[in-house]
Amino acid sequence: MTSTATRLAQRGVQDGVLIVHKEAGWTSHDVVAKVRALLRESKVGHAGTLDPSATGVLPILVGRATRIAEYLVDWDKEYQARLRLGETTDTQDATGRLLASNDPSKVTEGDLQSVLTGFRGNQRQLPPMYSAVKVGGQRLYKAARAGKTIDRAERSIVIHTLELMSFDGRDAMLRVVCSKGTYVRTLCADIGQALGVGGHLFALERRRVGPLSIERALTVEQVASHLAASTLASQFLSLDELLFELPAVVVNEEQAARVLHGTPVSPVENGQFLSSLRDGNVRLKDEAGRLLAIGTHDQTGLGTIKVRKVLSLSSH
């Protein structure tokens, strides 16, 4: 075992992801720092930043899981968002300065449903000035705080689902399922603008990140309780579970040793018929079912599987 893995095991912790329920007022970095302090482990990170005012699912990566963050960022996300109509703010959410106020009482549920139709599917979205997007090497929020507006390019996003859950004439509760890179506060501001009264994101809860749902999420306090009771290990999702979307390729003992040294393996050598395997990333596993590495399958290279990232403990 690696020294990191040994330390984690001694504390009843494993490499993997904890689904943490972030509370309002904390930054994503705050949550990482709190979990890092609890676990006394330096290798802790997160996948998918939440604004401080938002709550809900924040995937916390522990140990070797920090090495697979790039494979998790493409997951879609589900939110429950409260859109407040009639008020426009400079940050597009409730933390910002009020820029304009309009009476939303003439907006009907039918009007709202009609406008929502135009925001479903493939969209182009302009990143908000109060965001961590870099333009010309500068974070947009830093320019915004200095009173500057920077030209920035629209981005392609997908709104898979946009449902109206309730509407009281002022606040609309929305269910949003969207692609990575989507700013829900910008979506809310754009909907308000399309209705002609303006609007902003009043409250946001992230319900799901890929397969990680809020039903399994733990508060930081609950993480501490599980740790004290030595039951925290059961709350982790393993690397193999997290990479479930990647096809699995089993290698024999000799090839497993090569994989752990970063050496490519060939389908001909391992006796597997891989002509039906699509090009792209795969999980390389040994005959005992242990995850060894992430590889890339390339049919143009005679089906060779190149090792991209070694993950097995045996490699250290």
Residue 277 has pLDDT above 80, yes or no: no
Q: What is the rounded average pLDDT for all residues in the chain? A: 88
Least confident of 17-31, 135-149, 188-202: 135-149
> Which of 160, 186, 209 delimits the end of a domain?
209
Looking at residue 137, what is its pLDDT? 72
Do 189 and 255 reside in the same domain of the chain? no
* Structure confidence at residue 10 as a pLDDT band (50, 70, 90): low
Do 93 and 71 reside in the same domain of the chain? no
Do 219 and 262 reside in the same domain of the chain? no
* Integer CA distances (angstroms), 276 to 242, 273, 298, in order: 23, 8, 12
Do 86 and 195 reside in the same domain of the chain? yes
Looking at residue 61, what is its pLDDT? 95
What sign does the CA torsion over 242, 243, 248, 253 have?
negative
Tens of pLDDT, residue by residue over 286-308, are: 999 999 999 998 766 566 889 99
Using an 8 Å Cβ cutoff, are 187 and 36 in contact?
A: no
- Classify residue 56 as left (phi > 0), alpha (psi -120 to 50) or beta: left
Tens of pLDDT, residue by residue over 207-249, are: 999 999 999 999 999 999 999 999 999 999 999 999 998 988 8
Do 60 and 28 reside in the same domain of the chain? yes
CATH of the domain at 295: 2.30.130.10
Do 118 and 41 reside in the same domain of the chain? no
Do 205 and 219 reside in the same domain of the chain? no
Looking at residue 3, what is its pLDDT? 54
Do 19 and 42 reside in the same domain of the chain? yes
The reported pTM is: 0.87
**In which domain, by residue range, is 111 found?**
77-209
Do 91 and 109 reside in the same domain of the chain? yes
> Which of 188, 209, 230 delimits the end of a domain?
209
Do 137 and 155 reside in the same domain of the chain? yes
Q: How far is CA 24 from the centre of its chain?
A: 18
- Active-site residue list: 51
Q: Report how far residue 176's alpha carbon sits from residue 163's, in angstroms, rounded to the nearest whole number.
A: 7
Q: Report how far residue 70's alpha carbon sits from residue 93's, in angstroms, rounded to the nearest whole number.
A: 28
Do 267 and 229 reside in the same domain of the chain? no
Looking at residue 128, what is its pLDDT? 78
Q: Report how far residue 218's alpha carbon sits from residue 226's, in angstroms, rounded to the nearest whole number.
A: 10
Our count of domains for the chain comes to 3
* Structure confidence at residue 8 as a pLDDT band (50, 70, 90): low
Residue 171: CB atoms within 10 Å: 16
Element (H, E) at 7: helix 3-10
Do 71 and 215 reside in the same domain of the chain? yes
Residue 104 has pLDDT above 90, yes or no: yes
